[in-house]
Structure 1
C-alpha cells in the first residue's frame, strides 16, 4: 500500500484496530443508506414519490448516519457501553425506512429488503435478545407507517394490501430472531473455544519457559538468558557472576520423607531465594535439586556476600511435614564470568566449585 493511500485510510478510519473496524462498518452503513435513498430518487424521477419530502428524508438519513460516523471516528462513542453504536444506528435506519415507506407509494414494497438488510446488519454483533428488540421495533415502526398511510391515503395504501404486508413482516421478523439466536449460540461457542485456545497457548508458553513445580525459569530459558547477558556484557564491558546451587542431601530427604516433602522443600527454597535475591538477578531450576543463579553487573566479592546471606536464610528455614518440621541446607559454587570464555566452561567451573563445597562439608559457598 502506498504511503498516500495509507495516510488516507488512517485519516478516514483511524489508526487503532478496533476503531478502524467500527469506522469501516459505519461507512458501509452510510453507503447502504445512500444507495437506499438514491432508489427513492428514482421513484421521484418516475413520478411515484414526492420530490420535496424525499429530499428532506435524504438529508435527514445521510446527515444522521454521518453524525454516527463522526461520533465513532472522533472517539466520542467510546463513552458508551457499545462504542459501535450498533443499536442506535439500526434504530435510526429502521426509522428512516419506515418514513421512506410512507413516501414510496406504489413502490413501497422495495422498502422491505432494506429493512431486512438493516436487521441482518446486527446479526453478527448483537445478542439474540437485542435482535429481538430490533425486530419488535421494526414491526412497530412499519406497522405504524402502514396504519398511518391507510388512514391518510387509502386509495394507494389499501387496507387489505397493508394488512397483507404487515402479516409478511410479522412472519419474517420472528424468523430473523430465531436465526439470530442460532448465530448467537455459535458466536458464544466460538468465543469459548478461542478463550480456551488462548489459555492453552498461554499455559504451553509458560511450560516452555518455566519449571512447573517451582515457577522458576527452566534450564532452556535460563541458558538463553545467560547467553543474552554474555552478549550484553561483551558490548558494554560489564561483568556478571554465575552460581550453581544445590540442596544438600536431597536424595536422603526424598528417601526418608517421600517425594511430596522433597517437592515442598524445592518450592520453599525457590520462594525464599526469590525473596532474598535482587530484582535484576535470575534464578532457575537447573535440574533435580540444582538451581542456577545469574547475578548481572556483579563482581565476585559482592556476589559471594549475597550468596552467603541466602545460605544463612536457607539454613534457618523449616518445612512442615507429617511428623514435625524439616530443615535443610544449601551448597553453592560461584564464578565470575571471564570475557571471551565459553559459557559451558564458566558453568563447568561453577560445577567444580560446587563439588568442592560438597567435599568441604556442605552448607557453604565456594568461589571458583
Structure 2
C-alpha cells in the first residue's frame, strides 16, 4: 500500500483565461483572411478581364467584409467567452456555407468555384465541430444549394440546362458525406491528441511524485529531502535566517516487526507518517522518510527550541493514538534529536549533530526529544496546536490506470456494437479483416462509393451529352472500376497488410487525380465539376498521407492542372473561353494549395500524436518501473514482491511445483549507519543487492523487503537441497568482496531464514515461518541460515 497524497497526482481542472479565449478566437479568424483575400483577388482579376460581372463580386466582398467585421467585434469584446462555443466556430461555418450559396446564386460564370470553396470550408471548420453540428451544417449547405437552384429557375425565364443543373447538385450530395467522413477523421485525431496530452501530463506528474516520495508512507523520500536541505542552506546563507532539522526514530521498531509481523510494521509507519503530516503540514515544513523507521524533519525559520516544542506535540499525538487497532497491546513511541542549522555550515554537519542528539535521546531512555549540543533535557511541552493539515494530505494511495503498462492510453474504449440489421450490413465488408485495418477499409469503401458515383455520371450524363465517345467512356469506366475495387483487394493481401500503408494511399490519390486531369482536358464543358473532384482528392489525403506525401500530391495536382491549362491555351481550341477557364484554374490552384497546407498540418498532427504516444508509453513504463522497484537497490519493492508471491502460490496450486522464500537480514546494520554514516549504509545495501543478483539463479527473485531486510523467492526449490545452498553461495561471495568503497575495512554478513510453502497455507504463514527461522539464525550467532 502507498500513501502518496491524492491531490499531488490528480489532474487539476483546467481554467481557461477569458483573455486567452479571446486571443485564440481572434487569431483563428485572422488565419482565414488570406483565403478570403485570395478568392476576392482572383474574382477581381476576372472582373478586370471582363469574364466576371463586377456587381456579384462587390456584393460577395461586402458580405464577407461585414461578416468578418461582425465576428471580429464579437470575439474581441469577449461576450461569448462563457458560452459552449466561445470561438464561434459553428456560426462561422454557417456563415461560410451561406457565402458559398450566395456565390452559387449570383456568379453565373463561376458557380463551380463556389463548390471548391465549400470543400475548403468543410475541411477547415467542420473538424472542430461535434458530429451533430456537422450533420446540420451539411444538410444546411445542400438545402441552400437546392433552394438557390430553384430560385434561379424561377427568376430566369429562359430555358434551363436541367441535366447539368442536376449533375452539379448531385455532386455535393455525393461529396458531402465524403467530406464529413474526412472531417470526422480529423476530429478524432484532434481529440486523441488532446487526450494524450492530458495523459502525458498526468503520467509525468505521477512520475515526479513517485520520484520524490516514499512509496509506503507518501512522505518525501531521502533524495528529495537532501535537495530541500541544500536549497534551504543556500537560502539561509543569503538571508541569514536559520532553520532546524530533526531526526526521528521509532523506538524498538524491530520488536514490532519481530513480534507482530511486517504488515503491522508497515501499518505503524503509515500511521506515524499521518500523524507527522497532521503536525508538520504547513509550508514550508517538510517531513521525509529517511530510511527504515527513521524520519527527517525540516523546519525553516524555526529555532531548535521551537522545533523541540513542536516535536513534543507530535509525541503527544503518538501517545494518544490507538495503536492497538493493529495488534493487541501495541504501543509506539519515538525518540528525536534536533539541531539548529547555522549559516555557513554544511547540511551534513547539522544532520550529524541531529544524529548525535538522537542517540543521546536513546541512551537517556528513549521516548524523548533532545536538542543537539545542549545535553540531555526534556523539552517543554508544546502549547495548543493548530491542525494545519491540508485537505487530502492523508488521502489514500495513488492508483495508476491499468492501461499504463501497455502504453495504449491514447486509444478510446471499445464501444459495444449494436446488433441491428444496419450494423450487420455495415460490418459485412469487415468480415475476416484484422481490427487494425478496419479504418483503412472504411476509407476504401468511401472512395469506392465516389468512383461508382462517377461511373454513374459518365453513363448517365457525360456520354448521352456527347462529351465523350464510347471508347473514351469505356476507358474512364475501367479506370474508375480499378480505383473502386483494387484498394480493398490490396488490403486483404497478406503481403500488404503488414505495411505501414497497406492501401497505398498516395498511389491511389495519384491514380484518381491523373484520371481527373485527363477528364478535365477532354471535357471542358464540365470543367468546374472536375476541378471540384480534384479538390476532393486532396481532401481524401488529409486523413492518411504523411508530410512528404501530402506535399507531393498537392504540388503534382497543381502543376499538372497548370500544364493541362497551358496545353489548352496553346492549342487555342474553339468554343472555350480561355479567360474564364483561367480564372477557374487560378481559383482551383488557390483552393488546392490551401487544402495542401491543411493536409500538411494534419500529417504533422498525426506525427505528433505518434511521437506523443511513444513518449507516453515511455513515461508510463517509467512510472511502472518506479512503482515496482526500490529506488536505492534497483530490486523489486515489497508491494510488487507481494504480488509475485501471490502468483507463485497460484502456480503451486495448479502444478504443485514447490517453492521457498528466504528472509535475509544484514547483520548489525544499525552499527554501520551509526559508525560510518547513512551513505556507507546505502552503499552496503546497494552492494549486497548487486552481489545477490550475480550469485542467485536467473529464476530467483530478489526484493528489498524493508530497511536492511531482503526477501528471496526461490521457485522450484526445497529448503535444504536448494535454498540453503543458494544462500551459502551468496555468503561466500560477500566474504570475498568489499561492498563499500568508502569503508574498505567493513565486512558485511547476513542472517537468513528459509521456509518452504506448504499446500493450502496463506503466504503470510510461510513468511512468518521464514521470519521465525531468521531470528533463530540471529540467536545462533548470526551470519548463518536456518530452516523454518
1:58 aligns with 2:37: no
**Shift in Å at residue 326 of structure 1?**
3.1
Bigger CA drift: 353-362 or 199-208?
A: 353-362
Give the aligned partner of residue 109 of structure 2.
106
Give the aligned partner of residue 295 of structure 1.
299
Q: Do the aligned partners of 2:324 and 2:331 also contact (CA within 8 Å) in 1?
A: no
**Shift in Å at residue 264 of structure 1?**
1.7
Shift in alpha-carbon separation, 1:326–1:157, aligned structure 2, 3 A: farther
Give the aligned partner of residue 219 of structure 2.
216
Aligned match for 2:259, one of 256, 261, 280? 256
1:91 aligns with 2:94: yes
Shift in alpha-carbon separation, 1:180–1:53, aligned structure 2, 3 A: closer
Shift in alpha-carbon separation, 1:322–1:207, aligned structure 2, 3 A: closer
Shift in alpha-carbon separation, 1:154–1:286, aligned structure 2, 3 A: farther
Shift in alpha-carbon separation, 1:154–1:205, aligned structure 2, 3 A: farther
**Shift in Å at residue 35 of structure 1?**
2.6
Aligned match for 2:271, one of 268, 273, 276? 268
State the distance in 1 between where 2:24 and 2:139 align. Answer: 28
Structure number with bigger Rg: 2
Q: Please give the TM-score of this superposition, normalised by the length of structure 2.
A: 0.43
SS at match of 1:341: coil
Shift in alpha-carbon separation, 1:157–1:62, aligned structure 2, 3 A: farther
Give the aligned partner of residue 158 of structure 1.
161
Q: Please give the TM-score of this superposition, normalised by the length of structure 1.
A: 0.88
Q: Do the aligned partners of 2:21 and 2:86 also contact (CA within 8 Å) in 1?
A: no
**Shift in Å at residue 73 of structure 1?**
3.2
SS at match of 2:81: helix
> Could you list the runs of 5+ residues in structure 1 that have no partner in the other structure?
1-14
Give the aligned partner of residue 356 of structure 1.
360
**Shift in Å at residue 243 of structure 1?**
0.3
Higher relative contact order (CA 8 A, sep 6+): 2
Q: Do the aligned partners of 1:334 and 1:350 also contact (CA within 8 Å) in 2?
A: yes
State the distance in 2 between where 1:307 and 1:164 align. Answer: 87
State the distance in 2 between where 1:151 and 1:250 align. Answer: 96
State the distance in 2 between where 1:176 and 1:326 align. Answer: 72
Bigger CA drift: 355-364 or 33-42?
A: 33-42
State the distance in 2 between where 1:317 and 1:39 align. Answer: 83
Shift in alpha-carbon separation, 1:208–1:274, aligned structure 2, 3 A: same
- The 5 A counterparts of 1:168-207 are 168-207=171-210
Alpha-carbon displacement from aligned partner over 1:170-211 (angstroms, at most 9, x marks no partner): 000011112222233333333333322222111001112222
Q: Which structure shows the bigger proportion of residues in helix conformation?
A: 1
State the distance in 2 between where 1:63 and 1:83 align. Answer: 20
SS at match of 1:106: coil
**Shift in Å at residue 20 of structure 1?**
4.0
Give the aligned partner of residue 290 of structure 2.
286
Alpha-carbon displacement from aligned partner over 1:275-307 (angstroms, at most 9, x marks no partner): 223624221111121111112222222222221
Shift in alpha-carbon separation, 1:219–1:142, aligned structure 2, 3 A: same
Bigger CA drift: 173-182 or 274-283?
A: 274-283
State the distance in 2 between where 1:228 and 1:99 align. Answer: 67
Give the aligned partner of residue 78 of structure 1.
81
State the distance in 2 between where 1:156 and 1:88 align. Answer: 37
State the distance in 2 between where 1:320 and 1:184 align. Answer: 58
Alpha-carbon displacement from aligned partner over 1:226-269 (angstroms, at most 9, x marks no partner): 22222222222222211001111112212222222222212211
Aligned match for 1:129, one of 96, 108, 132? 132
What number of residue pairs does the alignment pair up? Answer: 355
Give the aligned partner of residue 349 of structure 2.
345
SS at match of 1:339: coil
Aligned match for 1:233, one of 232, 236, 241? 236
Alpha-carbon displacement from aligned partner over 1:138-184 (angstroms, at most 9, x marks no partner): 11112211221122226485322111111000000011112222233
CA RMSD between the two structures: 2.4
State the distance in 2 between where 1:65 and 1:177 align. Answer: 25
Q: Do the aligned partners of 2:233 and 2:346 also contact (CA within 8 Å) in 1?
A: no
